[in-house]
Amino acid sequence: MPRTISVNSRLDGNPRYSDADMEPLLQALSKLRDGDFRPNSLKGQGAIATALLLVDQIRERASHHHQEAIRVRKEVSREGRLDERMNAGPGAGSWAATIDASNGLMDALTGPTVAMAQVVDAVASGDLSHKVELRADGRALRGDMLRMARSVNTMVDQLDTFTSQVTQVAREVGTEGRLGGQAPLRGMSGRWRDVTSAVNTMAGRLTAQVRDIAVVTTAVAKGDLTRKVTVEAAGELQELKHTVNTMVDQLSAFADEVTRVAREVGTEGNLGGQANVRGVSGVWKDLTDNVNNMATNLTYQVRNIAQVATAVARGDLSRKITVDARGEILELKDTLNTMVDQLSAFADEVTRVAREVGTEGNLGGQANVRGVSGVWKDLTDNVNNMATNLTYQVRNIAQVTKAVAHGDLSKKITVNAQGEILELKDTVNTMVDQLSAFADEVTRVAREVGTEGNLGGQANVRGVSGVWKDLTDNVNNMATNLTYQVRNIAQVATAVAEGDLSKKIDVDARGEILELKNTLNTMVDQLSAFADEVTRVAREVGTEGNLGGQANVRGVSGVWKDLTDNVNGMATNLTYQVRNIAQVTTAVAHGDLTLKIDVDARGEILALKTTINTMVDTLSSFASEVTRVAREVGSEGRLGGQAKVEGVSGTWKGLTESVNELASNLTTQVRAIAEVASGVASGDLTRKIDVEARGEVAELKDNVNLMVANLRETTRANEEQDWLKTNLARIGRLMQGQRDLTQVSQLIMNELTQTVGAQHGALYLSNGEELVLTAGYGLARDSVGRVRFALGEGLVGQAAMERRTLHVREVPRGYLKIRSGLGAAAPASVIVMPIVFEEQVLGAIELAAFDGFNPVHLAFFDQFTETMAVTINAIIATTRTASLLEESQRLTHELQERSDELQRQQGELRRSNTELEEKAALLAKQNRAIEIQNFQIEQARRALEERAEQLAVSSRYKSEFLANMSHELRTPLNSLLVLAKLLSENTEGNLTAKQVEFARTIHDSGTDLLQLINDILDLEKVEAGKMDIHPQPLELAKLVDYMDATFRPMAADKDLEFDARVEPGTPATLFTDEQRVEQVLRNLLSNAVKFTSEGKTELVIGPATPEEVAASRLQDAEPLVAFRVFDTGIGISPDKLQLIFEAFQQADGTTSRRYGGTGLGLSISRNIAQLLNGEIQAESEVGKGSVFSLLLPVDYQGAPSDLPAPAVPQQPSRSVEDLALLPTEEDEPAEHLDLVLSGKKVLVVDDDVRNVFALTSVLEGYGMDVLYAEDGQAGIDLLQRNPDAAIVLMDVMMPGLDGYATTEAIRNMPQFSELPIIMITAKVMQGDREASLAAGASDYVAKPVDIDNLLSVMRTWLQNPEVG
Amino acid sequence: MEDKVKILLVDDREENLIALEAILSSLDQELVRARSGEDALKALLTDEYAVILLDVVMPGMDGFETARDIKRRKKTRDIPIIFLTAINSDPDYAFRGYAAGAVDFISKPFDPWVLRAKVSVFVDLYNKNRQLERQAVLLKEQAELLKEQAELLRRRGLLDEEKA
């Protein structure tokens, strides 16, 4: 504690102190001077005391300074704490400044030291990058400090240089093996230089030795065993040197030997040589042995192989290598054997193809060698190629030659060929060209000669030789020959044309020309014949006038036939015309002037025709004039008329005058005759012509006279004829309209008899057999109808039979008497006439007369009998028609009656029909009513079904809802429970007991909640009928054991007795669902334990009788077993006993508070019991306990029928379309050995991971290595990381970069320009393929992917990337 | 001495995945999450897993389908699958699970300790298998070597006999 004393206050100016007094002060000062800073106890008085005090203060301050210095020194020197500083002392002013200065000094000293120490530290730890800062506290270091710092820095630099040099050398020599490296000595000094030199020396020596050894080992490695290590070495290197040299020696020996053997075996082929290396042991011996062994084996194997190879070389492919070999030799053997097999197959196949193509000419054959690869495949391919090429070339050539053969010279061989085929092709093409030129030339000649008629043309084909030249010459020859022949023919033809038919073609010709020649000669012959014939006809017709002659030229045809026909036609025409003219002239000659020549004629004949016709006209006019005169004179009586014919002369004039003279002569004579004629005309037939006449007129006169006489006779005949006609008409008229035969007969009798003046008459009519007297005239009264004559009987019968009139003229007396009241006389004549109509005798008429019958009467009879026959026949026919009509009318009437009857019956039918229809309508109505009822019933049924379905659906919804709900509830519970459990475990021990307790509570509550949810689910399942029963044999003993094990501890926890037993007489096993039974029993027992606080609980299993059970279905389901659970718990009042089986019910609402539980257990148990065809019974007494009994049939027989049938179990629906890729989805992917696919890397780019997974499964089954990317960009990245991917399967539809874009991007990378990329897409649109290929894809496979198709596509691309 | 193995956790619910990770983190293995069956397949396409914990009820592809696909692929066929399901009371589910190739079928809520123990068994099995594979490879190599040497010896014996 510094004490501050005011010195001045006590000073007075008077020296009052003795030396003695000063002694303590001096002592104190001397001690102070001597550096004794211990406190002293000197005392003084007054100012001395004050002085002492001051001295003590000085000492104190000095002491402090001293102690601080010592302390700091100790701290710095001993402890090394350079940051220790002196504490400020009690003094101020210079004291304090001294302390500060000391501290400043220390700072100045320690600062750079610490910095240097840091640098040195860094150096020590190998970091040579640090340097001492040459500035401290912003000031540059100076003096020693600067030097020291620089020294340190220099040292660090040198160290750095040194270490880096040495490191470099060491690294070069040691690590990188670059021997010979030397650390440069520049800038080094002292020890550094020594060390560096040593390192360099070491490096140099090592380098030399190592290089030497390396040279030797390199030589050894290169097989030069002559070198030895010669470098000077010591120690271990010396040993190494010796060892290496020894090794080189042994190796040399060994190598010599092995070389020898190898040379013998390998080069010289002396198999069987053995290496003999002496003085070797260990590995070398083994090695030698191995070599020998190898040589032996090799020898054996090689010989075997050689045999086979020799056999193969000789073409014997039947040999195989049989030697036992391993490793590569085995491979070689197998390879050779395979090679032989393949060669064999190949040879067979090639032979086959060669035979087919070469020998048999079956082009198109292909060699099919299986399982070959490499050169053989190439060879096969080449052969096939060759065959294909040859086929193609040969076919092409064949095509061209065929075309040439067919005359088509426009084709050329276009096939690409080489070598001989090329020559062949060129030759054929040249041939075609030449042929073409030749053909052109020949065509030209042919055209000139043939078409244009320029004979003498010559084909001029240049540059041809051999056959072609011959051919051209031939053509020219032919042309010449033809020309000669044609000219000869032309001569003959010209001669023929000029009418000289005597010439013949005599040129020597062949073939067609010969035919032509013959034809022409024949033609000339025929022409000749024709000319002869025509000449003949012309002579006959023309000269001899034998019209009708016809030319008859045989064996002609065509024009000649036409010509002949024409000549004949001409002859015919001429004949016709001449005959016509002859006819007319004959007619004129015969006085018929009406005829004219009407034949169609021309030329001279026409002139002749006209002349004759004119002649006829003139004649005609003359004749008409003469006729007129004759008519006027002859017919009109105008006598004195003269004919006046003009324009006539000669004979015609003379003739006219003659006529006129004749006319005047005639006039005189005719007038005389006229007088007589007038007399005749006025009825005077008595006169006669008396005029003198001559010749014809005299004849006329006689004739007129005769005519007058004839006139008289004719007039009388006319009168008779008139009578006959009149009577015929009269009687005919009378007979008209008559229908009765008798009347007609009578009428005929009356009229006829009177008309002919007969006195008796009888008319008989035929009845088919006889002639019956039907009417009479003047007959006895009763004779009518009685008198009958058969045909041929009497005169009447005879006349009828002969159909001839019999006329008896001289009737003998007594034959017949015609009577009257005045007398009787016999008639003079009797006539019998038959009445005949169309050769049928209808009857006969007999007449008798006194006077007889004159010819007029007889003619009358003839005509009248005809008329009468017609009339009688008409009457008979009419009578027959009438009777037929009557019959017809009768039949019609009957028909009418029948029809009426039918109509009546029809009416009845119609009536009954109507009745039936009414009944049917009634039935239909009833039917419709029934249908409507059915429909209503159907509707009701459907409504019911719908309701039922709705119910089922809503029930299912409810169940599903509950199931889902409980799942949804359970899921969050799950993590809650797990995490709570984890927390309650408190594994990390950082939770308090309370927190653990909370966690446990959370867990327990959660567990309870879960239990509740499970119960609800269970109940729901049972109610929805979803709980399945799986019955199986259940051993009761086991069940009891299980229950005992489960509940005994629980009961023990509550200090309850527990017992579980099986009563005797119970079956040992049940057939039921064990799990369900256990569930019910667990529920009952846990209830029993839960609701019992003291006493015991017990499970007794025993037989039960049907009387015990309530449900009827159990009463006949013997045998039964009863599981009874007894307890001594709280019991249930009887009114609650049924209630507890309802869901969520307990005996008392408060029960659950006390005992927990959901109240679902019994409800579930009862439902399960029903499912098991059993029931649960309960008996209880409040406060005493309860008995719950589960009664079950021993043998579960299936679901009870009165329970709702279990709903159809719902299949979890799953979308099927996703699985389109895997048609056989349950099959495991087979392991396939596929040479093409196996080991290849495939990149699958597809966003549908399931597809990819399935695809991957398959592809991996084929040994492929699958890389997967889920979008385009990832695919590209993955591909860049795996450039060895062999193929890419690319989905088109992907998010982000789609398949097309990705493919394009991949194609833009040069290293993947050839990578096969196969597009896979669900799209089946047109143009997808094109789009894929346009994007750069190699191929395209449509979804759903047919895996076989995909694999084959992949194989194609992996096998043969250049396809397509 | 062994690398960490991968365990695939498949569940559609984040909280379940958290719970699973909480349970299994002490095994000190790499836990890989997958939120769907598809994710699981994706993960299986790229990496190898020691065991798969697979939730049965998931939207879309459920656990059975996922398992079936996994079992169909040769590479993933032998990865043990533990089904996790909340629906424990349906024996059909367990049956389907085992039919789909599960090695275990655990109902939620599961005991963390049990699950951890089961998973760790499969991890050990996986490691053992890998070790076995390596040893098998080694053994095969050695067997080859031995066979070669035996062959050499036999040859030498034959030669000696011939010489004798």
Tokens 């229950």 appear where? Answer: A1043
Distance CA A279, CA A257 (A): 13
Peptide bond into A1119 cis (omega under 30): yes
pLDDT attached to residue B52:
93
ipTM of the complex: 0.75
- Least reliable range by pLDDT among A295-299, A385-389, A730-734, A1208-1212: A1208-1212
- Pick the residue with more confidence: A902 or A400? A902
Report whether pLDDT(A1186) > 80. Answer: yes
Taking the Cβ of residue B22 and every Cβ of chain A, the question of whether any pair is shorter than 8 Å is answered with yes
- Which of B13, B45, B159 faces A1253 most closely, judged by CB atoms? B45
Which residues, at least 6 apart from A1222, have a Cβ–Cβ distance to it below 8 Å?
A1254, A1347, B72
- Which of A967, A987, A1222 faces B86 most closely, judged by CB atoms? A967
The model's confidence at residue B34, banded by pLDDT at 50, 70 and 90, is: very high
Is A1028 in Cβ contact with B87 (below 8 Å)?
Answer: no
Report whether pLDDT(B101) > 70. Answer: yes
The model's confidence at residue A1221, banded by pLDDT at 50, 70 and 90, is: very low
pLDDT attached to residue A1228:
43
Query: Is the separation of the CB atoms in B32 and A1240 below 8 Å?
Result: no
- Pick the residue with more confidence: A336 or B25? B25
Radius of gyration, CA atoms only, chain B: 22
Which of the 8 DSSP states describes residue A766? E
Distance CA A1068, CA A1062 (A): 9
pLDDT attached to residue A221:
66
The domains of chain B are located at: 6-130, 133-163
Query: Is the separation of the CB atoms in A1297 and A1326 below 8 Å?
Result: no
A1185-1193/A1120-1127 β-pairing: antiparallel
DSSP letters spanning A1300-1316: HHHHHHHHTSGGGTT--
Q: How far is the CA of A645 from the CAs of A592, A642, A681, A1089, A1154, in angstroms? A: 19, 10, 35, 181, 180
Tokens 């005239």 appear where? Answer: A777
Q: How far is CA A1300 from the centre of its chain?
A: 27
Span A343-363, average pLDDT: 70
Structure token digits, residue A283:
């590995």
| SS3 per-residue string spanning A680-706 | HHCCCCCCCCCCCCCHHHHHHHHHHHH
- Which of B13, B22, B156 faces A289 most closely, judged by CB atoms? B156
In which element (H, E) is residue B54 found? strand B51-55
The model's confidence at residue A961, banded by pLDDT at 50, 70 and 90, is: confident
CA distance A1215 to chain B (A): 10
pLDDT attached to residue A250:
73
3-class secondary-structure state, position B12: coil
Which residues, at least 6 apart from A1058, have a Cβ–Cβ distance to it below 8 Å?
A1044, A1047, A1048, A1051, A1052, A1089, A1096, A1097, A1098
The model's confidence at residue A893, banded by pLDDT at 50, 70 and 90, is: very high
CA distance A1179 to chain B (A): 31
Radius of gyration, CA atoms only, chain A: 83
Look at residues A776, A811, A819, A781 and name the one whose alpha carbon lies nearest to residue A795: A811
Neighbours of B109 (CB within 10 A): 24
Distance CA A213, CA A208 (A): 9
Distance CA A1199, CA A1196 (A): 8
Taking the Cβ of residue B139 and every Cβ of chain A, the question of whether any pair is shorter than 8 Å is answered with no
Looking at domain B6-130, which of 3.40.50.2300, 3.40.1190.10, 3.40.50.620, 3.40.1390.30 is its CATH number? Answer: 3.40.50.2300
**Among chain B residues, CA nearest to A327:** B148
Question: Which residues of B, range 36-65, sit inside 8 Å of A by Cβ?
Answer: 38-39, 41-42, 44-46, 57, 61-62, 65
Chain B residues with CB under 8 Å of A1206 CB are none
Is B72 in Cβ contact with A1249 (below 8 Å)?
Answer: no
- Pick the residue with more confidence: B8 or A443? B8
Taking the Cβ of residue A1017 and every Cβ of chain B, the question of whether any pair is shorter than 8 Å is answered with yes
Distance CA B52, CA A1102 (A): 49
Which of the 8 DSSP states describes residue A1010? H
CA distance B124 to chain A (A): 22
Which residues, at least 6 apart from A1207, have a Cβ–Cβ distance to it below 8 Å?
A952, A955, A956, A1024, A1025, A1026
Span A1067-1078, average pLDDT: 85
| Length of chain A measured in residues | 1364
Span A730-736, average pLDDT: 81
In tens, the pLDDT along A748-795 reads 888 888 888 888 888 888 887 788 888 888 877 666 666 788 888 888
C-alpha triplet A616, A621, A627: angle, nearest 5°: 120
Which residues, at least 6 apart from A872, have a Cβ–Cβ distance to it below 8 Å?
A741, A744, A765, A835, A837, A842, A843
3-class secondary-structure state, position A763: strand
Query: Is the separation of the CB atoms in A1332 and A1298 below 8 Å?
Result: no
pLDDT attached to residue A1265:
87
SS3 content of chain A, % helix, strand, coil (to 5): 60, 10, 30
Span A288-298, average pLDDT: 73
The model's confidence at residue A1205, banded by pLDDT at 50, 70 and 90, is: very low
Phi, psi of A14 (to 5 degrees): -105, 130
The per-residue b/e assignment along A1270-1305, b for 16 or more CB within 10 angstroms, e otherwise, is bbbbbbbebbeeeeebbbbbbbbebeebbbbebbeb
Q: How far is the CA of A1324 from the CAs of A470, A1302, A1334, in angstroms? A: 69, 20, 16
Report whether pLDDT(A41) > 80. Answer: no
pLDDT attached to residue A1157:
58
Is B57 in Cβ contact with A290 (below 8 Å)?
Answer: no
Is A1014 in Cβ contact with B42 (below 8 Å)?
Answer: no
Chain B residues with CB under 8 Å of A977 CB are 108-109
Predicted TM-score (pTM) above 0.90: no
Instruction: Kindly provide the residue ranges of all beta strands, DSSP E only, lying in A1037-1174, ordered along the sequence.
Output: 1057-1062, 1069-1072, 1096-1104, 1120-1127
Chain A residues with CB under 8 Å of B22 CB are 978-979, 982
Taking the Cβ of residue B153 and every Cβ of chain A, the question of whether any pair is shorter than 8 Å is answered with no
- Which of A970, A1075, A1256 faces B108 most closely, judged by CB atoms? A970
Report whether pLDDT(B2) > 90. Answer: no
Q: Where are the alpha helices (DSSP H) in A187-326?
A: 190-221, 235-262, 282-313
Is B109 in Cβ contact with A981 (below 8 Å)?
Answer: yes
Is A1249 in Cβ contact with B41 (below 8 Å)?
Answer: yes
Span A304-333, average pLDDT: 72
- Least reliable range by pLDDT among A477-491, A833-847, A1143-1157: A1143-1157
Structure token digits, residue A827:
């008639």
Taking the Cβ of residue B30 and every Cβ of chain A, the question of whether any pair is shorter than 8 Å is answered with no
- Pick the residue with more confidence: A1101 or A530? A1101
Distance CA A762, CA A778 (A): 9
The model's confidence at residue A634, banded by pLDDT at 50, 70 and 90, is: low
In which element (H, E) is residue A444 found? helix A419-446
pLDDT attached to residue A1227:
41
Chain B residues with CB under 8 Å of A1010 CB are 109
Distance CA A53, CA A7 (A): 9
Question: Which residues of A, range 914-973, sit inside 8 Å of B by Cβ?
Answer: 967, 970-973
Distance CA A181, CA A175 (A): 12
Class of residue A10 by CB neighbours under 10 A (exposed 0-12, middle 13-18, buried 19+): exposed
Select, from the ranges A330-344, A1143-1157, A1326-1340, B48-62, the one with the highest average predicted confidence (pLDDT).
B48-62
- Which of B15, B89, B113 faces A972 most closely, judged by CB atoms? B15
Span A1036-1042, average pLDDT: 86
CA dihedral A208, A210, A211, A215 (to 10 degrees): 140
Span A175-183, average pLDDT: 69
Report whether pLDDT(A1222) > 50. Answer: no
Report whether pLDDT(A716) > 70. Answer: yes
Distance CA A450, CA A486 (A): 11
Distance CA B45, CA A659 (A): 154
CA dihedral A513, A516, A522, A527 (to 10 degrees): -140
Query: Is the separation of the CB atoms in A1303 and A1335 below 8 Å?
Result: yes
Report whether pLDDT(A321) > 70. Answer: yes
Is A293 in Cβ contact with B152 (below 8 Å)?
Answer: yes
CA distance A1261 to chain B (A): 7
Structure token digits, residue A1092:
């019992």
pLDDT attached to residue B10:
93
Look at residues A122, A124, A143, A123 and name the one whose alpha carbon lies nearest to residue A134: A143
Max Cα distance, chain A (Å): 276
- Which of B57, B74, B112 faces A1261 most closely, judged by CB atoms? B74
Sheet strand arrangement including B81-85: B30-34, B6-10, B51-55, B81-85, B104-107
Pairs of residues, one from chain A and one from chain B, whose beta carbons lie less than 8 Å apart: 115
Is B72 in Cβ contact with A1228 (below 8 Å)?
Answer: yes
- Which of B13, B38, B86 faces A1249 most closely, judged by CB atoms? B38
Terminal Cα-to-Cα distance of chain A (whole angstroms): 110
Report whether pLDDT(A383) > 90. Answer: no
Span A800-820, average pLDDT: 77
Structure token digits, residue A1234:
């596929």
Q: How far is CA A706 from the centre of its chain?
A: 123
The model's confidence at residue A674, banded by pLDDT at 50, 70 and 90, is: confident
Structure token digits, residue A1300:
């097309």
Q: Which of A1250, A1251, A1267 would best serve as a mutation to test chain B binding (most B beta carbons within 10 A)?
A: A1250
Q: Where are the alpha helices (DSSP H) in A590-694?
A: 603-630, 651-681
Report whether pLDDT(A878) > 80. Answer: yes
Chain B residues with CB under 8 Å of A1212 CB are 62
pLDDT attached to residue A366:
72
**Among chain A residues, CA nearest to B70:** A1253
Chain A residues with CB under 8 Å of B16 CB are 971, 974-975
